[in-house]
Chain A
Amino acid sequence: MERFDALVIGAGHNGLAAAAALGARGKSVCVLEKSGVVGGMAAEGRLAHLVYNLSEGEKRRLGVNLAEVDTVSLSPDGAHAVVRRGAAGFADGRAYPDAAAYGALHARLVRFAGVLAHLAEAPPLGLDGGLASFASLREIARLGKVGLGLKRLGKVEMREFLRVILSNAYDTILDELPDGPLAGALASDAVRGAWAGPRSPGTVFSLIYRLGHGGAVYRPEGGMGALAEAYAAAARGKGCEIRLNAPVARVLVEEDRACGVELADGARIAAQAVLSSAGPLQTMLLAGVAHFDIEATRRARNMRAKGSAAKLNFALSGRPVFTGLSEAQHHARLLVAPSAAAVERAFNPAKYGELPKSPVLEMVLDGTRFSVIASHVPTEPQGGWTRAARDQLEKVVVQAIEAHAPGFAGLVTGCEVLTPADIADLTGAPGGHWHHAEMGLDQVLTLRPIAGNARYALAVQGLYLCGASAHPGGDVTGLPGRNSAAQLLADGVL
């Protein structure tokens, strides 16, 4: 039987990041991917089409060129807002009346994000060893760093941090700005991919999470596929093997230790550790629920992961023209999020299993390809994702674009609709959820993805979670994978 030190299930960016981190420490690693492409949700044409949460270190490691782009928040009255980091203006170059307030709010949220950012860079805090152990002292020191960071904000800002951190994005944004495209842009960023509207509690936290690295938006040169390839190349560079079209049927467990996997074709591969990019429940099912405690499976079953974002990949016969945008501005990130209130209303139909009527859109134009993320859509609409439901979603989205780019509908030559169900099928992400598990306050940090399994280890020795459901969460960061590998090594598994 073939043997590796570690097997990684799923060649998403996190699985590849985990493999690379283990490979860098001289471990033999094989990554097993069920589909024919690497990158998972970040693969070309899948859910992600932009990058905004990649750390400087990760950018260097991957060596991929990222071009920062503006964000254009389209306004029904043609007064589109253009944003880059904290700076806002009108698309025609006029000064935005709320630019100062927007800049101050953005800067504050980025500052708050900075206080929490280093928590994402390592496994969540844990005091497993008891208060007196050396490991725990280090953990307490990390916690102290957060406290110190808070203290450094100054009294007023610290108070503000504590006031808003558990609050909702809607109130926090509208405390500073009048409702409109600027507020809408922030509100939509707070909830894109989430089963939450901007008025849901905890959405300030999810907004801060997005702004973890300053809030800049990037397009990888060569598209998301290039970024996915960069992750794969980094793993291969560390000696890892990547096998495509190799779906794992079972994780093999012996004497309470993960000892390998069985592939769908019956082949077995032995290993001392198995890292899974799937969610906790899928991973438990792969290993067999009998190996886990009843409480753990109950928590895994009840983990909240309802996908709310759909991806529409349009093929166009020509370049669409958006009213009021310059040639260059067409290559910005385009948002249809006219107000925070509209973003909240866009969530309403999804709650009842209905398709959106006025979806919030994030759009990226690449030649004649037009990539659109539509939210919120129901995870599973009433009646299921039938042909008719898909067509209806496409129609609604085309209408919404047509309102800003007359003639758009005539340019469409093809449209691939990826519903949350499709994304779940393609990538294994629980519920097709952007973050694999809702980034609610009940499912972050030491409670991510579920209480008791926050430190990547999934009860059976040598079995680890390395996907976005694990801390710190989704977006293309590579952090869950890297943290998982670090924890696995710290636990002495390899």
Chain B
Amino acid sequence: MDARVTSRSHVPLGLIPTPFQSRLEALSRAKAWVNWAGYVSPAVLDTVEFEYFAIRNQATLYDITPMHKYRITGPDAEAMLNRLVTRDLRKVRPGRVAYVLWCDEDGKLVDDGTLFRLGAQDFRLCCQEPMAGWLADAAWGFEVSVEDESHRVAGLALQGPTSFAALEAAGLGVGTLRPFDLAEVEPGLHISRTGFTGDLGYELWTGWGKAAALWDRLWAAGQGRGLRAIGFEAMNIARIEAGFIAARTDFQPSNTAMRLGRGRSPVELGLSRMVDFTKGHFNGRRALLSQDPQYHLVRLDVGGFKPADGALIYHRRKKEVGHVTSGVWSPTAKRNIALAELRAPFGARVTGDLWAEIYVNAEGRWDRRLVPVTIQSEPFFKNDRARATPPGLF
């Protein structure tokens, strides 16, 4: 753990380096760093194009240590988490990972994340937003302990078609892992077949002190398999292609929004299949049962080739009905894609005659384009190699 975190003598100043920072620093040509939850994190290391195509054609390492990690253990761990999240965790066996959503009492999303079931009474929740206070409240009345592991556990996302081959070469056998499986392949090293790219990929979790050695091991094994280190920007293109939502971008975590009505329910975010109303009570259940969706988050195929990030969406070119929350040119789909929030009934009952208003600055001159958009039901990127078990040794 970083000394500035453990030291109680003063508040850490500046950004905290993750255990991979020395490796990333050496690889960075772009010197483009961003603040991710107080940690220094690369936006781009080389160029976003190289890094993006490495995700889709080779293998990539992305430092996900800044994710918040909480360890929930105890006899009531399952019951406590089952009240927290919208899915039925009784169906999630040890050695499995579940994508979970959790809501406030109004049924609005507090955050989403991945829940790793390490044992019958042992879970790790991994998410974007700080959640210690919320989990402490959620744990009250249950026989559980909640521990913030954010500064103790390092994480690496190894994503891309050759990621399995790279792990094999590193001597880490994960051939039997199916998507959302989890295994402790070596003492203190958990590998899950999860990721944020929609492609074949793994996430590796280990102690802070063992992290740098793990990087070096993977880096050596990845040579000849096209392994590259990447930053946020390339990862973000891949996640929009996969149709995954991001906190503070595609939805506002309801506990952080100060204005009324900014929260969105799982139904409004198109995630109703993640909500199990039959499992008994969970936070926000009664509110969700009583409300109709006011918004619909949809995937859009946008006309033209100019990224539509932030564009307003119109119905019949006149009536404003929503806006794009994430928009990007998809190099793999060769389409202009976006996630957009539309006011109901647009996006559900009314899906035709929708237009995006895109502003383009062409060397100092602003150009306004109204382009047609069509709603897509499937993700923009889908590949069978992501689901094959054992994965191909590309």
Contact = CB atoms under 8 A, between A and B. Distances in A.
B281 A294 contact: no
Contacts of A293: 104-105, 283-284, 286
B96 interface: no
A285 interface: yes
Contacts of B140: 289, 297-298, 301
Overall SS of chain A's interface: helix
Contacts of B138: 294
Contacts of B284: 293
A332 B330 CA distance: 87
A459 interface: yes
A109 to B, nearest CB: 37
Interface residues of B, number: 19
A294 B142 contact: no
A250 B300 CA distance: 51
Given A289-B142, A290-B281, A297 B137 contact: yes
B134 interface: yes
Contacts of A256: 280-281, 285-286
A298 B140 CA distance: 8
Interface string B99-120: 0000011000000000000000
A253 B280 CA distance: 10
Chain A interface size band reads 10 to 19
Interface in B276-316: 280-281, 283-286
Nearest to A459: B286
A298 B137 contact: yes
B172 interface: no
A291 interface: yes
B261 interface: no
Best-surrounded residue of A293, A294, A452, A459 (most CB of chain B within 10 A): A294
Interface string A289-306: 111111111100100000
A83 B79 CA distance: 59
B354 to A, nearest CB: 30
Contacts of A459: 286
A291 B105 CA distance: 12
B16 interface: no
Contacts of A291: 281
Interface string A257-300: 00000000000000000000000000011000111111111100
B83 interface: yes
Interface string B76-110: 00011011100000000000000000001100000
A91 B94 CA distance: 79
B187 interface: no
B114 to A, nearest CB: 20
Given A256-B286, A290-B281, A301-B140, A295 B105 contact: yes
A289 B144 CA distance: 14
Interface string B137-163: 110111000000000000000000000
A308 B389 CA distance: 67
A334 B281 CA distance: 53
A296 B105 contact: yes
Nearest to A290: B83
Contacts of A301: 140
**B141, B280, B284 — most chain A CB neighbours (10 Å):** B141
A285 B284 CA distance: 19
Contacts of B283: 293-294
Nearest to B284: A293
Given A256-B281, A256-B286, A290-B83, A452 B141 contact: no
Nearest to A293: B105
Contacts of A298: 137, 140
Interface in A287-331: 289-298, 301
Nearest to A292: B281
Interface string A87-130: 00000000000000000000000000000000000000000000
Most buried by B among A284, A290, A459: A290
A297 B140 CA distance: 8
B141 A297 contact: yes
A128 B105 CA distance: 16
B259 to A, nearest CB: 18
Residue with the highest number of chain A CB atoms closer than 10 Å, among B83, B142, B285: B83
Nearest to A460: B281
Contacts of B137: 294-295, 297-298
Among B138, B280, B281, find the residue whose CB has the most chain A CB atoms closer than 10 A: B281
A295 B104 contact: yes
B68 to A, nearest CB: 18
Contacts of B105: 293-296, 452
A399 to B, nearest CB: 43
Interface string A446-485: 0000001000000100000000000000000000000000
Contacts of B134: 294
A452 B137 CA distance: 17
Contacts of B281: 256, 290-292
Contacts of B83: 289-290, 294
Nearest to B76: A290
A285 B141 contact: yes
A430 to B, nearest CB: 16
Nearest to A284: B141
A459 B104 CA distance: 14
Contacts of B104: 293-295
A2 B179 CA distance: 51
A286 to B, nearest CB: 12
A290 B79 contact: yes
Nearest to B287: A293
B286 A289 contact: no
B178 to A, nearest CB: 31
A459 B281 CA distance: 11
A459 B287 CA distance: 10
A412 to B, nearest CB: 44
Nearest to A461: B286
A127 to B, nearest CB: 15
A456 B104 CA distance: 21
Contacts of A294: 83-84, 104-105, 134, 137-138, 283
Nearest to B255: A295
A460 B80 CA distance: 18
A433 to B, nearest CB: 21
Contacts of B280: 256, 290
A475 to B, nearest CB: 31
Interface string A437-451: 000000000000000
A301 B140 CA distance: 9
Nearest to A295: B105
A285 B141 CA distance: 8
B317 to A, nearest CB: 33
B290 to A, nearest CB: 11
Interface in B249-290: 280-281, 283-286
A295 B82 CA distance: 16
Chain B CB within 10 A, most for which of A284, A285, A293 = A293
Interface in A318-365: none
Contacts of A297: 137, 140-141
A464 B84 CA distance: 24
Interface in B355-387: none
A91 B357 CA distance: 86
Contacts of B142: 289-290
Interface of A: 256, 284-285, 289-298, 301, 452, 459
Given A256-B285, A294-B137, A295-B137, 15 more contacts: A256-B281, A289-B142, A290-B79, A290-B80, A290-B83, A290-B280, A290-B281, A293-B105, A293-B284, A294-B105, A294-B134, A294-B283, A297-B137, A298-B137, A459-B286
Q: 7 tightest CB-CB pairs across the interface, nearest first?
A: A289-B141, A293-B105, A295-B105, A290-B83, A298-B137, A294-B138, A291-B281
13 contacts: A256-B281, A285-B141, A289-B141, A290-B280, A290-B281, A293-B104, A293-B284, A293-B286, A294-B84, A294-B104, A295-B104, A296-B105, A298-B140
